[in-house]
Structure 1
Amino acid sequence: MFKTLSSLPKTVWLIGFISLVNDSASEMLYPLMPLYLASVLMAGPKAIGIIEGVAEATSSLFKLVSGVIVDRTKNTKVWIVFGYLLAGMGRPLIAFASSWLGVLLIRFTDRLGKGLRSSPRDALLAESVPASHRGITYGLHRSMDNAGAVIGPLLAAYLLAINVPLKEIFLWAVIPGAITVGLALCLKDPPREKLTSGPTRFTWSLNGMPVEFKRYLVAVGLFALSNSSDMFLLLRARELGVPQEQIPLLWACISLITTVFGTPLSALSDRFSRKYFIAIAWGAYALIYTAMSYSDLTIAWLFGIFALYGLFKAATEGVEKALVADLAPKGLTGTAFGWFNLCSGIMLLPASLVFGWLYESTGPTSAFLFSGLCSGLAVLLLVSWVFKPKIVASETL
């Protein structure tokens, strides 16, 4: 594995380092968001659901837009730079929000930036390595991204420990945001001769995609319906007795585990079935959310459950993307990632809205059990239907 890592091109490492710095800023603020909304802006779970649902749905829609455009224009750098610029400008403005509606607008801008950069970045990674190295490439990227998600919460915990007000912590995000944009400007698009094949016009349909890819999108969409905002996990942990200053540490624990195990688990998927990697991880997710429905969990159990959640993320974040690259037809990589990101993200709007409504109206138990049920059904769909052999040559979705 280490020999393969050392042979990866500079572009892969640069993209990983950009994600590390960006996530240091993003994840410094993310675990503080539910605390800020609840204690400063007096917003409840329903408001959190609306904010995160709308933000992630926006991100997902523009991931498809940017992916299709990249396949047509063969220009990834401009979208990556602009996406990081929007995020870097938006995050510090949360400090000036006077209501949860203001936070919604800022999160919209932040996720718009994520939408514009994600599919071009994923396509650039796919074009930079051979097919046999896709798992380890996406695993490395996710590991470096999650390394930033370790640094960020640790910084947040330190700033809270020395009594820095929540509003001031949001302002600190401007520094890594500027560094991220500077690094993104150093990226280079692959030579054009490597990208000569592709659509001659803009196309937003799934025409030309294999049936397995279309079925995979259905399973991903169903699983995404269970995958509401992680803010609810942090809110639940706070309600079950985790002190406020330990919430960022809990989130850092998840990210540390994902960082350590993301690359080796993704590398294993280059040798074994990616389908079963994903199915096992989705099954673990169902168990995690079912466990979080109980109200008598101790803090020790909570940290154990969150550690398992870190392993779930490590086993899926890179492998899911590697599977997309495997299934994507040549010349439609950006579009394939656009559709994958759309289906995995657009469902976060109903997922977060339903979860937030259940959480506030009937209690956290029903909300977490709903997510556990949806993810369990997604596992069955993935294993029994997605890669089922075609009976008729003309079979469609």
Structure 2
Amino acid sequence: MYVASVRPTNRVRGHLRGKVPGTVLALGTVSLLTDVSAEMVTAFMPVYLLFTLQMGYAQFGVLDGLYTGATAVLRLIGGHVSDRTHRHKAVAATGYGLSAATKLLFPLVGANAFGIGATLAADRAGKGLRTAPRDALISLATPAPSLGTAFGVHRTMDTIGALLGPLVTFLLLQQIGMVAGPVFVISACFAAVGLIVLIAFVRENRTRSTPGPRPSIKAGLALLKNADYRKVAILSATLGLATLSDAFVFILIQKSTAISPSYLPLLPLGTALVFLLTATPLGIVADKIGRWRVFLAGHVLLLAVYVLLLAPNSGYLGMAIALLLHGLFYAATDGVLSARISTLVPESLRASGLSVVQTGQALARLVSSVAFGFLLQFATFGTAVYSAVAALLIALVIAWRLP
């Protein structure tokens, strides 16, 4: 059984408690630029696939699940390779570069569903490679008592990009109409600049000797022998099974509030703005009262979003409340979970430990998207939403009752 040592090492003793290292700020800038790119595509896809290509919800659910789940296996590979080689930055750069390149493929595949699916998978494969090494860089540069704060600051900067991406897409569509090419080309440019910032400004310590066992696939999976780590991995995956993707949440908000579909690309702005304002404060709160408590509380807020979707024709007020709660859900869960995991694994397996939990979540959300897409396609709107409410409520009860 491997239990992490969470005492600050020589690399971080120089930092005052609560101070955010320069590595975190540089990675935040990379994520900001990359998220402008990614969220441009995310905001465009529902409108493009459902209203332009006239895909059904079941087909959309499969593509959306692929978009989420394609990161799964490569998260494990990215985590293992970066731990094994002690080159977290190089592995992260490979992932960022792959995602940037795929943006230029979208205009070439046109309306071909298979081509769109393959390109989405390649894009998410890049995300899978980069996520664990990036989070490892953050955690290894930050004193353990300040991990929630550091991840909160990073997610705040990341969310500035998530805020700008849909806005750029909306303004483009207002000017040029439903033309896909310029959206993807501009998205690729933002991704390329983010990669340049990573290469030029992010620094890492390549010390070959780090506390903990020698990195290997077996050692990474052996982390599950640690009871606390195992519970976090299993329960986060269980909650992931009951978590609808952002795309479906925004589609359901549009349908339940009866606002115009033309506003669909703007809905991520509401979630991103709330996330931007609350990620750092909630990271600080998580450091003080417990990261797992805040993580579960975030899912209670998500449950409230699902319940609110059952109110018919709630209009702009219902939309605003749903987006507020959705943004708070992300602020309470995204970086907070990574901070919690980081205290449970040794430095030598930091990226591997993060990737195992993230892989479980990605696979669970793949199943969730596919299942909900078929449910929305072949059942009534109310039945689909009630099912989502019931699934998340059951998952929360299971997670809450376990210590």
TM-score normalised per structure 1: 0.91
Asked whether 1:54 is paired with 2:66, we answer yes
* C-alpha deviation, 1:226, in angstroms: 1.4
Aligned residue number for residue 55 of structure 2: 43
Q: Deviations over 1:144-184 (max 9, x none)?
A: 11110111111112122224433132222121021011112
Tell me the C-alpha RMSD between the 2 structures. 2.0
Asked whether 1:69 is paired with 2:69, we answer no
Asked whether 1:111 is paired with 2:124, we answer yes
| Distance change in 2, residues 1:337/1:56 (3 Å) | same
Q: Equivalent residue of 2:213, what SS?
A: coil
Aligned residue number for residue 230 of structure 1: 246
Aligned residue runs from structure 1 range 74-113, under 5 A: 74-96=86-108, 97-113=110-126
Asked whether 1:219 is paired with 2:219, we answer no
Query: Which whole-Å CA distance do the structure 2 matches of 1:58 and 1:286 have between them?
Result: 26
Aligned residue number for residue 356 of structure 1: 373
Query: Which whole-Å CA distance do the structure 2 matches of 1:304 and 1:146 have between them?
Result: 19
Query: Which whole-Å CA distance do the structure 1 matches of 2:313 and 2:263 have between them?
Result: 19
Q: Equivalent residue of 1:108, what SS?
A: helix
Aligned residue number for residue 188 of structure 2: 174
How many residue pairs get aligned? The number is 384
* C-alpha deviation, 1:276, in angstroms: 1.5
Aligned residue number for residue 195 of structure 1: 210
Letter in 1 for 2:169: A
Q: Equivalent residue of 1:8, what SS?
A: coil
| Distance change in 2, residues 1:155/1:6 (3 Å) | farther
* Kept after mapping to 2: 8 A contact 1:359/1:367: yes
Aligned residue number for residue 142 of structure 1: 155
* Kept after mapping to 2: 8 A contact 1:294/1:365: no
Q: Deviations over 1:91-115 (max 9, x none)?
A: 2322332222211111001000000
Asked whether 1:206 is paired with 2:224, we answer no
| Distance change in 2, residues 1:367/1:5 (3 Å) | farther
Query: Which whole-Å CA distance do the structure 2 matches of 1:70 and 1:381 have between them?
Result: 34
Letter in 2 for 1:378: A
Query: Which whole-Å CA distance do the structure 2 matches of 1:53 and 1:204 have between them?
Result: 29
* C-alpha deviation, 1:193, in angstroms: 5.3
Q: Equivalent residue of 1:165, what SS?
A: coil
Aligned residue number for residue 391 of structure 1: none
Consecutive unaligned residues in structure 2, runs of 5 or more: 1-14
| Distance change in 2, residues 1:285/1:6 (3 Å) | closer
Q: What percentage of aligned pairs have identical amino acids?
A: 24
Aligned residue number for residue 315 of structure 1: 332
Letter in 2 for 1:129: T
* C-alpha deviation, 1:39, in angstroms: 2.5
Query: Which whole-Å CA distance do the structure 1 matches of 2:296 and 2:215 have between them?
Result: 36
Query: Which whole-Å CA distance do the structure 2 matches of 1:160 and 1:219 have between them?
Result: 40
Query: Which whole-Å CA distance do the structure 2 matches of 1:54 and 1:40 have between them?
Result: 20
Aligned residue runs from structure 1 range 285-364, under 5 A: 285-364=302-381
* Kept after mapping to 2: 8 A contact 1:74/1:195: no
Query: Which whole-Å CA distance do the structure 2 matches of 1:281 and 1:326 have between them?
Result: 20
Letter in 1 for 2:21: P
TM-score normalised per structure 2: 0.90
| Distance change in 2, residues 1:369/1:277 (3 Å) | same
Aligned residue number for residue 130 of structure 1: 143
Q: Deviations over 1:260-313 (max 9, x none)?
A: 100111111111111221121111111211221343332221221111111111
* Kept after mapping to 1: 8 A contact 2:103/2:184: yes
Letter in 1 for 2:64: E
Query: Which whole-Å CA distance do the structure 2 matches of 1:59 and 1:289 have between them?
Result: 26
* Kept after mapping to 1: 8 A contact 2:61/2:372: yes
* Kept after mapping to 2: 8 A contact 1:66/1:117: yes
Aligned residue number for residue 4 of structure 2: none
* C-alpha deviation, 1:6, in angstroms: 8.4
Q: Equivalent residue of 1:287, what SS?
A: helix
Greater displacement, 161-170 / 214-223: 161-170
Aligned residue number for residue 277 of structure 1: 294
Query: Which whole-Å CA distance do the structure 2 matches of 1:54 and 1:22 have between them?
Result: 20
* Kept after mapping to 1: 8 A contact 2:43/2:266: no
Greater displacement, 291-300 / 31-40: 291-300
* Kept after mapping to 2: 8 A contact 1:135/1:269: yes
* C-alpha deviation, 1:7, in angstroms: 3.2
Q: Deviations over 1:36-88 (max 9, x none)?
A: 01233221111111112123222022111211222222111111111011111
Greater displacement, 28-37 / 154-163: 154-163
Aligned residue number for residue 198 of structure 2: 184
| Distance change in 2, residues 1:280/1:196 (3 Å) | closer
Query: Which whole-Å CA distance do the structure 2 matches of 1:17 and 1:88 have between them?
Result: 16
| Distance change in 2, residues 1:205/1:132 (3 Å) | closer
* C-alpha deviation, 1:235, in angstroms: 1.9
* C-alpha deviation, 1:204, in angstroms: 6.2
